Amino acid sequence: MAKEREMNRKKQASAAAIVEVVIETPKGSRNKYAYDPTKKAFKLSKVLAEGMMFPYDFGFVPSTKAADGDPLDVLVLMDEPTFPGCMLDCGLIGVMEAEQEEEGKMVRNDRLIAVATQSLRYADVKHVRDLNDTVLKQIEAFFVNYQKLRNVELRILGRRGPEGALEILRKATEQKHAA
């Protein structure tokens, strides 16, 4: 009976952590795209340095506002890259908490980490700790180096699981509706 309750609790927790994500930049791309809400289109934002590319699809959660003023960032693990503008359902598995320097002050710039619900390869990943630690370090190194090349210092503050990701998502949703 206790085992059954625990399984039901896990199912409810994972169902509550499903979010819609809009992909801006697909895995393997050196081109960083950003959605321009005034033009309702994706625009080339920057080109990454030679040898750098996005390790996974990267996008945002619509109707959110993160501490940096942008929609909440999400790194999406899935089998194959999608395309800019693709909307997909994702299960939150955690968050990479970070801060970066903007205009002389440190601002939070967390990245949610999620798995596409349609993914076969990552279907069993429900928590960031289910990922190989080397993979997580490489993701963190990518974001640190990506910002460094823009002369922006990014500090990784830590990682949290789905509960931490949901907490940050709630705050970003409230922030968007308060604006």
Rounded to whole angstroms, the Cα distance separating 93 from 95 reads: 7
Q: Specify whether the CB–CB gap between 42 and 18 falls below 8 A.
A: no
- The predicted model scores a pTM of 0.89
**Which CATH architecture fits 2-178?**
Alpha-Beta Complex (3.90)
Query: pLDDT tens digits for the chain (179 residues)?
Result: 556 544 444 444 444 589 999 999 999 999 999 999 999 999 999 999 999 999 999 999 999 999 999 999 999 999 999 999 999 999 999 999 999 988 889 999 999 999 999 999 999 999 999 999 999 999 999 999 999 988 999 999 999 999 999 999 999 999 888 86
Q: With contact defined as beta carbons under 8 Å apart, do 58 and 88 qualify? A: no
What is the residue extent of each domain of the chain? Answer: 2-178
Do residues 3 and 10 make contact, with C-beta atoms less than 8 angstroms apart? no
